[in-house]
Amino acid sequence: MNSFITIWAKGRGNLATWLLWGLASAFVAYTFATGGYLIAVLQFAFIYTVLVTGLNIFMGFTGQVSFGHNAFAAIGGYSSAVLTTTYGWEPLPACLLGLAGALACALVVGYPVLRLRGHYLAMATLAIGLIVYEVAVQWQSVTQGYMGISGIPSIGVGSFTIGSDRALLVFLMIVAALALLSAAGIRRSRLGRAFVAAAGSEDAARALGIDVAHYKLIAFMISAAYAAIAGSLFVHAVGFVSPEVFGLPMVVMSFTMLYVGGIGTIAGPALGAIIISVLPESFRAFKDYQDLAYGAALIVILIYAPRGLASLPELWARWRRRSA
Amino acid sequence: MSSTATTTRILEIEGLSARYGHVEALRPVDLHVDEGELVAVLGPNGAGKSTLMNAIMGLVPTQGQVRFRGREVPRRAPAAAAALGIVLVPEGRGIFAPMTVAENLELGAYLLNDKQEYARRHARVLALFPRLKERLSQTAGSLSGGEQQMLAVGRALMSEPKILLLDEPSLGLAPRIIEEILQKLGELNRQGLPIILVEQKAPLVLRLARRAYLLSVGSIAAEIDPRTIKSHDELVHYYLG
């Protein structure tokens, strides 16, 4: 709760903050009322919020690079899919087992890999994503390869399942909000300060007695946990999973959301996820030029708000001071 | 000091060397610090001063021995060195720009869990650097260079170091600020904190230091008693051989 109050207090009195949140909630309300295709788009955005929030903890707070978080989403997603369809598990324990699997994988992989820095770390994490993709394709007896697994049940506990699209939207929105609040809590905690210290200067942090390698590994595992949960949510929401779902496009998508929304900020992942999910849809009128318009919009955002949409309130405050 | 019988060596360094790949940045050096001493390490650019500091801390791969208060300082384990009470204020200060001044100070006492003790140290640092008090909720990146240096020193003091290593605290600062910071360091030292102070600007620190080592191309060229340096020319002689 504390962290929520801080987010609110920081933005209080800033018109741009109100505008941003106002627009977002108006859009969610509009979608909720009208229903249809946009509901699916928003569900997708909220699931990605969870994934990108995790990525933000590793990349934004801790200053590392990972091109491989799709691997953890895949582990979470496939665990949910296989356990609920083939073995008839409940969604919740299936999701938890996927989470445990992703954590174990992050621990085993992270321990050696996190000794690398910068580009080397990026390459090593990229490899993790590719390996998990390949496993999903080849391990046909379990994953059914390219065919994928369909008929994955909706999220629910016992006889209570979230059947309607609107109910699912509300549920995912709550999960996304929890993801943001937990990230805010982490950022404000002792642990979070160690993460940010490691991002600032590894040597300076070490010289203060902070075991940087240890904290990088913890950040990696926490972010893997978010990714695994996002993966589980995804397969339950869509009802289908195939290796393509967790391919490289997922990595590109989550990076775009992180940077457009504002890396290192709390609200950035949500703003980025919503904008990047909705933007291509809003350019449908451009028909053949849809991708062009989408690309141009991204460039404009990154030129005028280089630290992402979440930095707009700050830019607005600076503009106000200058013109005052 | 003639009273060698009563002074205790707290930091003893024997044959400490460091290399980056094929380049030997630091040839085996021996040096020591006695109880309550402020020791200066002087030398021109590229003499290996920073490497020496990083080597003591264990931030770079080294050979040789570092002992602190009779205990072996583990190599390649800076966190362990910090836990022994050896704290480095790195060159360029190494403050955490996106975090607030208060958070930076908190990180200095990262190994501490006692709230009362924390409050005591916090108050002590703010008493030493009152300017930081006004800036506690500001991000560290928004401070002036001098204030950042004060923050870096203050952050190091939060861990209540048993010896403080400072790598060129004067770097990029105005003379008046340097004067202020050096004066604070002198104050800390008089309160009993042993300090190793690395500097390029020798005249500034020779007034404070009890002893000085002169580094030149990766090895110790001379050990100087600052009181015997009578003129600027003499120092130039040391620098240029």
CA distance B57 to A270: 41
Quick one: pLDDT at residue B232? 63
pLDDT at B22 over 70: yes
Confidence of residue B185 (pLDDT cuts 50, 70, 90): very high
Of A320 and B215, the one with more pLDDT: B215
| Segment B188-205 mean pLDDT | 88
Q: Taking CB atoms and an 8 Å cutoff, what residues of chain A touch B103?
A: 193, 196
Helix extents (H) in A15-117: 15-34, 37-56, 69-85, 91-113
Quick one: pLDDT at residue A2? 44
| Segment A29-39 mean pLDDT | 84
Quick one: pLDDT at residue B234? 66
Q: Note whether A194 contacts B111, CB cutoff 8 Å.
A: no
Q: Does residue B161 sit at the A interface (CB-CB below 8 Å)? A: no
Mean pLDDT, all residues of chain A: 86
Beta strands per DSSP E along chain A: 149-150, 156-157, 160-161, 240-241
Secondary structure of chain B: what % helix, strand, coil (to 5)?
A: 40, 25, 35
Q: Taking CB atoms and an 8 Å cutoff, what residues of chain A touch B54?
A: 203
Q: How far is A132 from chain B (nearest CA, A)?
A: 34
Q: Note whether B54 contacts A197, CB cutoff 8 Å.
A: no
Q: Note whether B96 contacts A201, CB cutoff 8 Å.
A: yes
Strand partners for A157: A160
Q: Select the residue from A61, A186, A208, A307 to test the B interface by mutation, using most B Cβ atoms within 10 A.
A: A208
Quick one: pLDDT at residue B148? 93
- B105-145 pLDDT per residue, tens: 998 888 788 888 999 999 999 999 999 999 999 989 899 99
Q: Taking CB atoms and an 8 Å cutoff, what residues of chain B touch A207?
A: 57, 59, 78, 82, 87-90, 94
- B36-73 pLDDT per residue, tens: 999 999 888 778 888 999 999 988 888 899 999 988 99
Q: Where are the domains of chain A?
A: 2-323
- Please, are residues B166 and B89 in contact by the beta-carbon 8 Å criterion? yes
Pick the CATH number of A2-323 from 1.10.3470, 1.10.10, 3.30.70, 1.25.40: 1.10.3470
pLDDT at A34 over 90: no
Confidence of residue B1 (pLDDT cuts 50, 70, 90): very low
Q: Which is it for strands B195-199 and B163-167: parallel, antiparallel or unpaired?
A: parallel
Confidence of residue B239 (pLDDT cuts 50, 70, 90): low
Quick one: pLDDT at residue A5? 47
Quick one: pLDDT at residue B70? 86
Question: Residues with Cβ < 8 Å from A291, sequence gap 6 or more?
Answer: A280
Quick one: pLDDT at residue B197? 93
Quick one: pLDDT at residue B237? 66
pLDDT at A38 over 80: yes
How many residues can be counted in chain A? 324
| Segment B22-45 mean pLDDT | 88
pLDDT at A232 over 90: yes
- A142-171 pLDDT per residue, tens: 888 888 888 888 887 777 778 788 889 989
Confidence of residue B171 (pLDDT cuts 50, 70, 90): confident
Confidence of residue A1 (pLDDT cuts 50, 70, 90): very low
Of A48 and A275, the one with more pLDDT: A48
Q: What are phi and psi of B36, to 5 degrees?
A: 75, 10
Residue of A nearest to B60 (CA): A203
| Residue-wise burial string across B190-199, b where 16 or more C-beta atoms lie within 10 A, e elsewhere | eeebbbbbbb
What's the one-letter identity of residue A276?
I
CA distance A166 to A176: 15
CA distance B141 to B154: 15
Q: Provide, rounded to the nearest whole percent, the portion of chain A with pLDDT above 70.
A: 95
Q: Taking CB atoms and an 8 Å cutoff, what residues of chain B touch A314?
A: none
Quick one: pLDDT at residue B236? 67
Confidence of residue A207 (pLDDT cuts 50, 70, 90): confident
CA angle B154, B156, B161 (to 5 degrees): 120
Q: Note whether B99 contacts A200, CB cutoff 8 Å.
A: yes
Quick one: pLDDT at residue A181? 94
Of B227 and A94, the one with more pLDDT: A94
Question: Residues with Cβ < 8 Å from B48, sequence gap 6 or more?
Answer: B18, B25, B26, B27, B215, B217, B218, B219
Other residues' Cβ atoms within 10 Å of the Cβ of residue B208: 19
Q: Determine which helix (DSSP H) or strand (DSSP E) holds A270, and give its type and residue range.
A: helix A268-282
Q: Note whether B88 contacts A194, CB cutoff 8 Å.
A: no
Of A290 and A274, the one with more pLDDT: A274
Q: Determine which helix (DSSP H) or strand (DSSP E) holds B26, and give its type and residue range.
A: strand B23-34
Q: Taking CB atoms and an 8 Å cutoff, what residues of chain A touch B60?
A: none
pLDDT at B5 over 60: no
Quick one: pLDDT at residue B151? 94
For A17-21, A191-195, B39-43, which range has the lowest pLDDT when averaged over its residues? A17-21
- Please, are residues A237 and A102 in contact by the beta-carbon 8 Å criterion? no
- Please, are residues B224 and B212 in contact by the beta-carbon 8 Å criterion? yes
CA distance A198 to A218: 12
Nearest neighbour of B107 by CB, restricted to A199, A208, A264: A208
Q: Where are the domains of chain B?
A: 9-95+160-240
Among residues 145-204 of chain A, which lie with CB inside 8 Å of chain B? 190, 193-194, 196-197, 199-201, 203-204
Confidence of residue A183 (pLDDT cuts 50, 70, 90): very high
Confidence of residue A99 (pLDDT cuts 50, 70, 90): very high
CA distance A109 to A99: 15
Of B93 and B162, the one with more pLDDT: B162
| Segment A130-141 mean pLDDT | 91
A99, two tokens: 């989470």
User: Which CATH homologous superfamily contains domain B9-95+160-240?
Assistant: P-loop containing nucleotide triphosphate hydrolases (3.40.50.300)
Quick one: pLDDT at residue A291? 81
pLDDT at A219 over 90: yes
The DSSP letter of residue B100 is: B
pLDDT at B204 over 80: no
| Segment B149-174 mean pLDDT | 91
Question: Residues with Cβ < 8 Å from B66, sequence gap 6 or more?
Answer: B11, B12, B13, B16, B55, B56, B58, B72, B73, B75
Quick one: pLDDT at residue A4? 47
Residue of B nearest to A212 (CA): B79
Given the cut 0.90, state whether the ipTM is greater than it.
no
| Segment A76-83 mean pLDDT | 93
Nearest neighbour of B107 by CB, restricted to A197, A199, A264: A197
| Residue-wise burial string across B52-68, b where 16 or more C-beta atoms lie within 10 A, e elsewhere | bbbbbbbbbebebebeb
CA distance B206 to B214: 11
Q: Note whether A190 contacts B95, CB cutoff 8 Å.
A: no
Quick one: pLDDT at residue A324? 64
Quick one: pLDDT at residue A10? 53
pLDDT at A60 over 80: yes
CA A268 to each of CA A21, A180, A182, A260, A312: distance values in angstroms, whole numbers, following the listed order: 12, 9, 14, 8, 10
Nearest neighbour of A207 by CB, restricted to B90, B97, B106: B90
Unique residue bearing structure tokens 């002590």: B124
Confidence of residue A235 (pLDDT cuts 50, 70, 90): very high
Confidence of residue A50 (pLDDT cuts 50, 70, 90): very high
pLDDT at A267 over 80: yes
